[in-house]
Amino acid sequence: MNKRLVSGIQPTGALHLGNYLGAIKQWVELQYDYDAFYFIADYHALTGRPKPADLKRHRIELLAMLVALGIDPKKCALFFQSDVPEHTELGWILNNSATIGQLNRMTQYKEKSDQYGQYVGLFTYPILQTADIALYDAATVPVGEDQVQHLELAREIIRSFNSHVGDTVLVEPKPLLTKSARVMALNNPSKKMSKSVAGSVIGLLDDPVTVETALKRAVTDSDPNSTDKSPGVANLFLLLENFSDSEMVRHFEGQFQKGTLRYSELKEQLIEDISAFLAPIQKTYRSLLEDEITLQRIAEDGAKKARPIAGETISRAKKALGL
């Protein structure tokens, strides 16, 4: 049997190129070689206290977008986290293998609690994330770099659980990162591309004019005489490597090395290639959204594949605990 792999994404609104390059692109590639479990982390999204109608819409839109990007529900299990109650069940169990001190070290809690308030769900979020991973015995978790701290904590929590029960009941996961694991904010390349940084993203649903505006505003060189790429320029080259053909990459690399690169030309190329990449995805996305019944069925089928595996892990964990 193939090796297992798991990853999740929150339904918090339109995806951006950071989500795609840091995570989803690899999800698509890996689904053929792994027994893959991909879920829409709707229980996690509750930590942002979304309006119920927004959450409902974002869940189904994200499902359509994942399929439009190439996640094949026949090749993997694609499901809503809240359709598999074992996630929260194992989350409760693992609360007893994590300490306040460990959770206090999580930088995302510090950032997000300023925005959403100091809710307990936001604080214990990494424990639920540990459960998400442990449920599927997944050794590998394809994520962007901002999730590495959570995965390291997941390893500690699982180790603590296993040591408490005196057996290797749960599997310790490792993050799987690509070269694009950290896509930076276009307008502030010292921060990661994120919806919470205004002007930082290119959304997967952006039209060519919006893509153009975002790229034209992208920060390039702070020191024009520098021979190293500034973070903003390196970020544009990262996009070029992902969306343009290799000849173009060589062309602009050559110009950069010679010191003759015109950023306006590089940006024009990116505007053209990124818009061309997005157009067919947006078309597929819109047509998928017209048939919500099929989307619901995809999610139900995904949950049906996930539940037996999750159920086995819970039984094993409960037995080991004396329950």
* Residues labelled catalytic: 112, 192, 195
Q: Does 26 bind ligand TYM (CB under 6 A)?
A: no
Write down the H helix ranges in the chain.
17-19, 25-30, 42-45, 52-68, 86-94, 100-104, 107-116, 120-134, 148-165, 208-216, 231-243, 246-258, 263-289, 292-321
Q: What angle do CA 297, 298, 303 make, to 5 degrees?
A: 95
Looking at residues 108 to 167 of the shown chain, list those that interact with ligand TYM (rule: CB under 6 A): 129, 132-133, 141, 143-144, 146-147
- The site for ligand TYM, by CB under 6 A, has a size of 25
Q: Does 9 bind ligand TYM (CB under 6 A)?
A: yes
Q: Does 76 bind ligand TYM (CB under 6 A)?
A: no
Q: Does 182 bind ligand TYM (CB under 6 A)?
A: yes
- Using CA atoms, how far apart are residues 181 and 149, in angstroms rounded to an integer? 13
Q: Which is nearer to ligand TYM, 132 or 273 (CB)?
A: 132
Contacting ligand TYM (CB under 6 A), which of 4, 5, 22, 134?
Answer: 22
Binding segment for ligand TYM among 8-16, 164-172, 208-216, 244-252 (CB under 6 A)? 8-16
Q: Which is nearer to ligand TYM, 98 or 261 (CB)?
A: 98
Q: Which is nearer to ligand TYM, 182 or 267 (CB)?
A: 182
Shortest CB 82 distance to ligand TYM, Å: 12
Q: What angle do CA 186, 272, 269 make, to 5 degrees?
A: 70
Q: Which two tokens stand for residue 22?
A: 């840091």
Binding segment for ligand TYM among 7-15, 97-105, 273-281, 304-312 (CB under 6 A)? 7-15
Q: Which is nearer to ligand TYM, 9 or 271 (CB)?
A: 9
- Using CA atoms, how far apart are residues 79 and 8, in angstroms rounded to an integer? 10
- Using CA atoms, how far apart are residues 144 and 97, in angstroms rounded to an integer? 25
Q: Which is nearer to ligand TYM, 144 or 232 (CB)?
A: 144
Q: Does 232 bind ligand TYM (CB under 6 A)?
A: no
Residue 26 CB-density burial (10 A; 0-12 exposed, 13-18 middle, 19+ buried): buried
The residue ranges that bind ligand TYM (CB under 6 A) are: 6-10, 18-19, 22-23, 41, 44, 129, 132-133, 141, 143-144, 146-147, 181-183, 192-194
